[in-house]
Every structure is written in C-alpha cells, then in structure tokens.
Amino acid sequence: MKSKAFTDDQNMQPLIRVENLSKLHERRSLAGAREEVRALDGVSFGILPGSTLAVVGESGSGKSTLASCLACLEFPTAGNIWFDGTDVAAVRESLRRQVRPQIQLIFQDPASSLNPGWRTLEILLEPVILQGKFNLKEMRRRAASLLERVGLSSEIMNRPPAELSGGQRQRLAIARALTLEPKLLILDEALSALDCSVQAQIANLLLELQDSLGITCLFISHDLAMAAHLADEIAVMHRGRIVEQGPADRILKHPEHETTRQLLAAVPKITSGEQGAPEK
C-alpha cells in the first residue's frame, strides 16, 4: 500500500474530499452562559482510492469529531464533504442513511462498540438482520468467510463478545464493518485500547485487508509511529486545524510544526526498517 498513492498518477480523483470543514459545539455552562467550542476549524484534505491518510493529534484536537462528521453521524457546521460525487454534508437525512454503509467507522473501545447482548453471528450480520431479509444458511456462510478474513475462527460464532479477548473483539468489529463492503474505513483510535503485540497484529491485518480489498482508510490516532507505519500520508491536527500535512516519511523525519515534534517526542524510539525505506 505504502508508496503507491504518490507514485501513481496524480490525476486520480480522491474518493473523499473534505473542504473547509468546521464544527462548532455549543456548550452551556452551569450558570447558563453559552460557550462555543470549535472542534473543527477549516479542515481540508482528500484521500485517494486505496490509500491511507492518518490524522494525528493530541486528545481534544478534533480528531473524533472529524471521524463522526465523515461517517455522517454528525452534521458539520460549515464546509463540504465530497464523497463519490455528492456533498454528504448537505444532503437530507434519508440520503445520508444510504451513504453511511459505504463509510464504516471502527471505534477505540471494542468492548463497548459491540452489542453486549448479541452473539458474534448476530453482531456480524446486524445490518442485514435488522433489515429483515436474510437466509440463515447463506448468512452463516458469509459470516464464516468474514471471520476467516479477519483471522478469527468460526467457532466463536455463537459466543457473546464478553467471552472474546480485546484483540478478538477488535477483529470482530473490523469484520462487522466489512459486512457492508464499505469504500472507506475510518479507524478512530482503533488500536489505542489494545496492548502492544495485539496492536501490531491488528495493524498487519489492516495492511493485509487493504492489499486484498483495496479499501481506502482514514486512520485516526495519537500515535505518530503507528500512523507512519500504516499510512501513506499524515495530517497533524492541533485545536481543530490541520497544521501540517505530507507524506508519512517526510513528517516523521522532518517535522515542521511544534505539535508534530511534541507528538514525535512522545513516541518511543523506533528502530524498524520500515520507516527508513526511501520514498521513490
């Protein structure tokens, strides 16, 4: 995946293009005074099909707001989100509902992002089941192949998520997102709640999936090293703005903005050869 997006033709249309996106959160303090929080402030970027953009920033920098705006879960206050030729920030709710399956979000905490009352099979096929038209046998087969795809055994099909490990749950969340065959996968701190070795496994799974399915990804994280490992391009956010954006290697080696340097300083020293590979 890496290195492809920028060596290929530059004329390729981005799958999703964000222009000047802003989001204001209004908060009312105890005294009743209104207070405005600018979660997103004129954010613009585009992601080419099949590539990965990582958005990195400290907590409270607006990353998650960005994710839920892109996934059509929240309306931005201003700006456009062009997805497949339509501005999904401006259309009606009923149209947004049709767009949502194509943009899937994976959350930080796999324990709370899976319905605790359901079994694996139901969780996996939730969108199909709730729409009421399905053939159980066919669905089981599909579930099994999805589970295999994310490296889970189909033995867990009848187990509730409470009986799965953290890594298994996050794999299941990814499999569930894949059920709908989305075009864009948004990973909102999807690795942060997992321990190191599991993080690496899931990261590899993501790279594999991208290779085989050609999914476009938006990887949101505070971990600059992991972002550089997974993404072609990195955008650094600070207080709702993108302060620095560029190819992953460049950001890692020659950070320009103060925030980037701080984030880099927070990363334990990396000696992996991957980041050192020269960009073509």
Partner 1 sequence: MRFLLRRLAHAFLLLVGVSILAFLFTALAPGNYFDEMRLNPQISPESVRALRAQYGFDKPLPVRYADWLNALFHGEMGFSFANNGPVAPLLLTRARNTLLLTITATLLAWGIALPLGVWSAERLGRTPDRLLSWGTAALLVVPDLALALGLLVLAVRTGWFPTGGMASVDFETLSPLKKLRDLAWHMILPATALVLSALPLLVRHVRAALAEVLNAPFLLAAVGHGIPRRTLLYRYALPAAANPLIALFGFSIGALLSGSLLIEVVMSWPGLGPLLLEAILARDLYVVVGGVLFSTLFLVGGNFLADILLFWADPRIRTERSAG
Segment lying near partner 1 (by CB under 8 A), choices 32-40, 83-91, 171-179, 223-231: 171-179
Segment lying near partner 1 (by CB under 8 A), choices 53-61, 67-75, 145-153, 224-232: 67-75
Contact residue for partner 1 among 63, 171, 176, 222 (CB under 8 A): 176
Contact residue for partner 1 among 130, 133, 137, 254 (CB under 8 A): 130
142 lines the binding site for partner 1 (CB under 8 A) = no
Contact residue for partner 1 among 7, 20, 115, 135 (CB under 8 A): 115
Q: What contacts 166, CB < 8 A, 6 or more positions away?
A: 110, 111, 193, 194, 195, 198
262 lines the binding site for partner 1 (CB under 8 A) = no
Contact residue for partner 1 among 16, 47, 71, 217 (CB under 8 A): 71
Contact between 64 and 185 under an 8 Å Cβ cutoff? The reply is: no
How far apart (Å, rounded) are the C-alpha atoms in residues 132 and 85? 30
Instruction: Give whichever of 132 and 268 is closer to partner 1, judged by the CB atom.
Output: 132
Contact residue for partner 1 among 15, 39, 89, 114 (CB under 8 A): 114
Burial class (CB in 10 A: 0-12, 13-18, 19+), 236: buried
Instruction: Give whichever of 24 and 267 is closer to partner 1, judged by the CB atom.
Output: 24
Q: What contacts 232, CB < 8 A, 6 or more positions away?
A: 1, 2, 3, 4, 5, 6, 51, 52, 53, 247, 248
Find the helix or strand (DSSP H, E) in which 146 lies. helix 136-149
Binding site for partner 1 (CB under 8 A): 68, 71-73, 97-101, 103-105, 107-109, 112-119, 126-127, 130-131, 160, 162-163, 173, 176-177, 180
